[in-house]
């Protein structure tokens, strides 16, 4: 994977720049559709414009919360491969890199902002299972 070598390009500022691009694209399409309203009062008064909000919200729902796809699939327990091969390096990368929204200086952002504005939810963190911890400690005892 890209993180086993060195993060480059969009991965230096965002853990998932492709998902950010997908979500951003749909929000921009929704915003640009404001000017295409046929309502004389503008997009705010057009029910079709408001119905268009379904697409960016649906895309966010799929990419941020659905287990078999998106960030839920890429993060959490699926990060084991990085923690097994280069734990310290990956922990440093995660602390300093936004999970979704590209942002330079992410390491200095307060935790409550990461959990809200940056969508860096706790469920995306890797938590080793207790069975793997027990296996690790029994292996360490064998080595002693």
- Residue pLDDT, tens place only, 33-74: 888 888 888 778 888 888 999 999 999 999 999 988 889 888
pTM metric for this prediction:
0.77
CA distance 111 to 142: 39
- Helix-helix angle 17-32:54-65, to 10 degrees: 170
pLDDT of residue 35: 84
Maximum average pLDDT range among 40-44, 128-132, 137-141: 40-44
pLDDT digits (tens, 9 = 90+) for 72-118: 888 888 888 888 888 888 889 889 999 999 999 999 999 999 999 99
Predicted confidence at residue 6, as pLDDT, reads 60
Give the integer Cα–Cα distance in Å for 62 and 71.
9
H or E segment and range at residue 138:
helix 130-143
Judge whether 12 and 97 are in contact, CB under 8 Å.
yes
19 has a pLDDT exceeding 80: yes
pLDDT of residue 139: 46
CA distance 99 to 108: 14
Q: Are 118 and 110 in contact (CB under 8 A)?
A: no
């Amino acid at each position: 994977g890209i993180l086993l070598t060195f993060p480059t390009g969009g991965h230096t500022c965002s853990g998932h720049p492709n998902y950010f691009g997908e979500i951003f694209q749909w929000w921009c399409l929704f915003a640009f559709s404001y000017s295409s309203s046929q309502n004389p009062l503008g997009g705010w008064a057009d029910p079709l414009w408001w119905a268009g909000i379904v697409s960016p919200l649906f895309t966010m729902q799929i990419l941020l919360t659905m287990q078999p796809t998106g960030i839920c699939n890429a993060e959490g327990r699926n990060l084991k491969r990085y923690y097994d091969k280069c734990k310290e390096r990956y922990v440093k990368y995660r602390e300093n890199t936004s999970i979704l929204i590209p942002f330079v200086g992410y390491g200095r952002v307060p935790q409550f902002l990461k959990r809200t504005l940056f969508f860096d939810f706790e469920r995306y963190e890797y938590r080793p299972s207790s069975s793997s911890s027990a296996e690790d400690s029994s292996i360490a005892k064998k080595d002693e």
